[in-house]
Amino acid sequence: MLGDLANWVQDVIERLGAVGVALLVILENVFPPIPSEIVLPFAGFVAQRGDGSVVVMIFAATIGAVVGALVLYGIAAVIGPNRLAAFVARFGRWFGVKPADLVRAEQWFDRHSVAAVLLGRCVPLIRSIVSIPAGFRRMSIAPFLLYTALGSLVWNTALIGAGAILGDQWERVEPYVATLQWVVIAAIALFVVRFAVGKFRRRA
């Protein structure tokens, strides 16, 4: 399945160049199964062999990231914090989450929104979903777009640059990103376990 997806991604970039990169990154933000660790290094390889410019590829990928992030932000903003709070109040017990937990999470995001968006755009998995709490909390749109663009620029430059440097060995980037992704998953799992244990102890 991933092989077919990778082939499709490569075909889109081969046919559309930087426009294809922008479109794929928009989709990758909204539909995470499209992996940036394939899109971006391959874009770098295509530019390196002379079928484009590394700078243009980075610019296109960053525009795509901002547009994709804005889509998720907009969806979350439309749902709004009130609907989210109502959902947690009604169904939160099924997930071990109380309204007070949601309030604390919202307060944390309000305090650290800039760092969450800026750094989150450089972390696998978190890259896309960080737009959702930003939308729920109605983070000011100008800072959201600015820090989304800056964080995405760092990520895109790193992966597209790596693809350009490695040339026809661009696929070597993917295992390193996959390893980082598993580290993030492990960190999230550890956080969830600690959260669950803490709630259990408070109830005991």
SS3 140: coil
pLDDT value at position 177? 65
pLDDT value at position 194? 60
The model's pTM is: 0.78
pLDDT value at position 116? 85
| Helix, strand, coil abundance in the chain, percent, nearest 5 | 85, 0, 15
pLDDT value at position 1? 45
In angstroms, the CA 70 to CA 79 distance is 14
Encode pLDDT of 75-98 as tens digits. Answer: 889 988 788 777 767 766 675 566
Q: Which amino acid is at 137?
A: R
- How many other C-beta atoms are found inside a 10 Å radius of the C-beta of residue 139? 23
Give the chain's residues under pLDDT 50. 1
Domain boundaries, the chain: 2-203
- Find the length of the chain: 204
